[in-house]
Structure 1
Amino acid sequence: METDAHQKEISVAFINDKSPVLDEICKSLATSGTEILFRSEKIKDGLFQLSALKTLPKACVIDLDFYDRNVLAQLQELRTQYPAIKLIAHSDIDEEKTVKALLDLGFSGYVLLSDEIKKAIEIISNGKKYLSAGIMHILNSHLQ
């Protein structure tokens, strides 16, 4: 179980998260001591906001928008510019191609359900990976 002191050390940024569900998750995280550094609607905006920070977030939760054809290139740019930030994908897409692409980019977490975000942040902040149960079978085939 995480202590309050440890929880307060965690800072998070949210990208592409225009969602009432994620609004509530951000409120819950802030109430529990997690520092929300910023929220942006697009990856490019997030890159700009990251560049203005003196201290980078421990994690960045990205609500994936695959309607943007350049999303993987933008995620690669984010990973290249900020390799120390733990990236967590939030999406309802559990296709093998998508999961593998994000794992190959170095994502530390992939959550299918919004209520898993807090748990994923805590786990990846401790240097581990977090994947929703619904995509574990994809990870197993990815590692073989």
Structure 2
Amino acid sequence: MNFITKSFSELTTTELYQILQLRSEVFVVEQDCVYQDVDFKDQKAMHVFGIKNDKIVAYTRIFKPGDYFKNASIGRVVVQENQRKFGYGHQIMKVSIDAIKNFFKVDKITISAQKYLKKFYESHQFIQVGEEYLEDGIPHIRMDRY
């Protein structure tokens, strides 16, 4: 797996298309959730993605402090369903956390996590802050990493 981090303007049209396709495949189709994925926040984000056999199979977008939350943030964490058994979710999170440190020079990170993934994010030193809430009809929790 080769991991790459790019700004929105650095993405090729093929990379952008593959990213949007992967996000739609998982968040809209697999999770059966109708929501507006194309939210005009991609232009502010750095895009972290993993390529295997010339295809993007893992992805996150990261934000500097103030662009999404007060702290830096990681969002749209996604791994193609048939690739999850290889641990790419953990790898993309490590790469994303390192990218925040390298690009934004901060350690504090806030995420809006799907509740069922709480233990996954806890394994990356995130802790739950506050109560559960619904986002796009799916239970979420705020989690912070210091």
Task: Mark yes or no: TM-score above 0.5.
Answer: no
Give me the TM-score of the superposition, normalised by structure 2.
Answer: 0.36
Specify which structure has the higher proportion of helix. Answer: 1
* TM-score of the two chains, using structure 1 as the length reference: 0.36
The structure with the largest strand share of the pair is 2
